[in-house]
Structure 1
């Protein structure tokens, strides 16, 4: 059985407040202290995107298994560095993408794997929330942007529906704010055998947040 034993923050007061609300025994005012706690075996990393790499390296070097909030990192090079370190330490390392574990998502993917809708030929997925005023989305220095914060869910649906297959061609458009942070995007993905996906995300508007997966025998 899992037991919450500690929480870490850049501010001790913040960690103490969180620990009090959730009945957690230990509160640390630095991630270094948390990493060195021998009672901590698994850590959920929920910090802002731009510090994920430093947090992950610190915790892996101290022998902690990790569940890291999406996106894992700022770019693929950082992800490769994380994975290589986790493998060398023989530690569990996983991206926390909650949609993959919701009952509806698990059911749909099971139907696809069993061939209920036939061969998948098109995926349409998109979502939108009014989030651009949140610092973690609107601030470039924090690793903000709609693609990393919201788009990852739409991308993940296409990725799962096509069983991890990489598209052969990607075309996309989007809108940036004055700081170069993406506010929205729409992309068309092409796969072998004339299969396609259309994905989009928007941090300015509340959208229906739907996905359609089209197969030869149904949708």
Structure 2
């Protein structure tokens, strides 16, 4: 143990990293998923579901704007039904929840389609292009009395759960500083650089850092937001640093970029200790608390993934099932208020950088 830090005992390395399955009602069958969009992330979500029990999760339908594409996904993954439109998926009576993996500008209209059809929705981040779109989706979900959650998968990794537990126990004393960075060289990816596709490092990468700070500080609104960065030739943000100042002289320093690779680390420093995520902070499988390591490896995929560690999508799927079985309309871990807070911070950062999307003109 480091001098001057908390002497609170740290769990032994033999402690299981996965919590025991929650007892489910005897009437509960598998959660029947509909998959909206046959893209790369949807493929990985399907593979992640296959690491879970078939008695708890099953994919019954997939929809794409091109029927042949949906049929190919269905054939490869043993999915019973394929649709050539999202409206057909919304009308399917055998779906308990829809996973939406469309591109960013389509999150509002597609999310609204399923909510109005009475379908619970797990919608990829960012929930909307801006805070106004997020508020519209939240209002739609509440008006329709339907479950909605932003798919910030980071919050559901066991490492994130362990961090929340340590913070709740006061193991770090008073948290004074948060640092996080996500930078991946992807400047050759069209959806990252094109405004019309909802590009920009903030919406794709920086949002992970912002939600991390919001989680650590318990959903508190920062007193001030300072942002500085550089824009790509297309007008989207390519590299940004953000300082969030909170009451009590607490601060978060966040960095994102699609121009370079960084170790993607995070740290939470308090008056009695420090938590460190040594890499992959958006999808963490290990952490250090005052130098003591705790790990929770991911199960291997049954098929190749498009993105590293994407079997970790299983954790948010498990959480959605638990919420639905309890009759919840939003997640207690990634609440709709959390989504609105993250979006509002991103809006202010973009305003300071001079990044404006078509969707901002109507907000």
Q: TM-score, normalised by structure 1?
A: 0.98
Is the counterpart of residue 131 in structure 1 residue 182 in structure 2?
no
1:47-79 CA distance string (max 9 Å, x none): 000011110111111110000000001011111
1:16-47 CA distance string (max 9 Å, x none): 11111211111111101111111122000000
Using the alignment, how far apart are the partners of 1:174 and 1:22 within structure 2? 42
Is the counterpart of residue 150 in structure 1 residue 244 in structure 2?
no
Partner of 1:121: 176
Partner of 1:206: 261
Range with greater deviation from structure 2 (11-20 or 61-70): 11-20
Q: Which runs of 4+ in 1 moved over 2 A?
A: none
Displacement of 1:132? 2.0
1:120-145 CA distance string (max 9 Å, x none): 11100011111222222111101111
Displacement of 1:207? 0.5
Equivalent residue in structure 2 for 1:50, among 77, 101, 105: 105
Unpaired segments ≥5 residues, structure 2: 1-29, 32-57, 275-363
Is the counterpart of residue 188 in structure 1 residue 243 in structure 2?
yes
Partner of 1:90: 145
1:51-70 aligned at under 5 Å gives the runs 51-70=106-125
Is the counterpart of residue 169 in structure 1 residue 224 in structure 2?
yes
Residue correspondences, number:
219
Displacement of 1:148? 0.5
Structure with bigger RCO (C-alpha 8 Å, 6+ apart)? 2
Partner of 2:68: 13
- Give the CA RMSD over aligned residues: 0.9
Tell me, what secondary structure is at the counterpart of 2:256? strand
Equivalent residue in structure 1 for 2:157, among 98, 102, 107: 102
Using the alignment, how far apart are the partners of 2:259 and 2:168 within structure 1? 35
Tell me, what secondary structure is at the counterpart of 2:150? strand
Is the counterpart of residue 159 in structure 1 residue 217 in structure 2?
no
Tell me, what secondary structure is at the counterpart of 1:67? strand
Unpaired segments ≥5 residues, structure 1: none
